[in-house]
Amino acid sequence: MNVGVIGSGYVGLVAGACFAESGNEVVCADIDEDKIASLNRGEIPIYEPGLDRLIENNIKGDRLMFTTDIPLAVRGSEVIFIAVGTPQDEDGSADLQYVLKVAENIGKNMNGPKIVVNKSTVPVGTAELVAAEIRKHTDLPFDVVSNPEFLKEGSAIDDFMKPDRVVIGTSSVEAAEIMRELYSPFVRTNNPILVMDNQSAEVTKYAANSLLATRVTFMNEIANLCEQVGADVSQVRKGVGTDSRLGPSFLFPGVGYGGSCFPKDVRALVKTGETKGVNMSIIKSVDLANNRQKSRIVEKAIKHFGGEANIKGKVFGVWGLAFKPNTDDMREAPSLTIINSLVELGATIQAYDPEAVEVAKELLKDSSASVSFCDNSYEAAQGADALLIITEWNEFRRPNFNKVTEALNDPVIFDGRNLFEPSKMNRLGFKYYSIGRAPVGS
């Protein structure tokens, strides 16, 4: 099948590469000339495990190409995916200007019947808006399909190739069958392809992300309660997660969620509710609670050092900058809130992340006098008054604690991801603060 993907960001690249891997001829188009030039040189603009190899193999196999020629992608494709950004607008809603601009270009360049697929995360009613925009420019027949993505950064290739489910929103039987054919190589283990109306498909994406965000935030609040009543959130999490009605996923406490999806989608769902007269009170609370959680580790540091005034002049080593491991994505990363808060109090930061340092340099350039970036984790700890663990990269899980002790001025660790057992840290002589568990050695 000839497939066009308009937008070569995270979703577009993963979708394009995976569709090509299953034998389709895919054209990925983007207006960003520098990005397309980099992709044609084999340079991938994002870090996603396995994506570089997948793109390289399919370019060599003549199944995948990158271009700035959007009309070419439209005219040469039977199915056209819209995979451009929908950034958060000032009022919290999703900004659809890029989606509608693509719809306009599709309408102007159609040369026959097309299936236009919304792959971008879009609010309810967007399929109708896209259809209306295309109709302004063509009388040719087309269908608009809602096909939300459910990719986790760091495991996106597996998520696409082995999806829990594929959601297809359309009222067209013919379009649904073509979409089934396109996705059939990925559901050979009988995971479902769910066909529903456009509106239900659009809500499904926001509902899924908001529910996952709620689970994370709920367990963070339970962790905060555990600290006050002397409970251990690790034990509570097991007690809750073994209930077959609940399960263990997304119940790990920490310093809050970030990334490109949860924060934006939660706020967009709240805004959609407001425009329809529905008070999304639970989802509003999730957003507020998550923002508070990002400050918890700073509060612990302030308390340990005896007040905000005593943070001035302190040096903090930071392990982890990306909002989660196996990505360089720092959009709304908790590390940004934590680092900026400490810098405002007069601290100096020595930071390390396996993949996100270059992204962090740009985002933290206004604090460059107080933030330095290191080549490895032990360098980040060298001469620091405390170590902060913000992202749970695997390489942080089993460090050489002797090296850590030697590097730090004082063996103090604030662990925002509960990587270590408090009893072990106590035996090793650390002052150890985690989330939802009693501190040790303090």
CA distance 403 to 319: 15
Contact 29, 67 (CB under 8 A): yes
Long-range contacts, 191-195 (Cβ 8 Å, 24+): 191/162, 191/163, 191/164, 191/165, 191/166, 192/165, 192/166, 193/165, 193/166, 193/168, 194/165, 194/166, 194/167, 194/168, 195/168, 195/169, 195/170
CA distance 232 to 350: 30
Distance of CA 359 to the CA centre of its chain: 15
Contact 334, 258 (CB under 8 A): yes
Can 261 be counted among the known catalytic residues? yes
The residue annotated as part of the active site, out of 18, 28, 226, 261, is 261
Contact 26, 64 (CB under 8 A): yes
Distance of CA 315 to the CA centre of its chain: 29
Annotated catalytic residues are 261
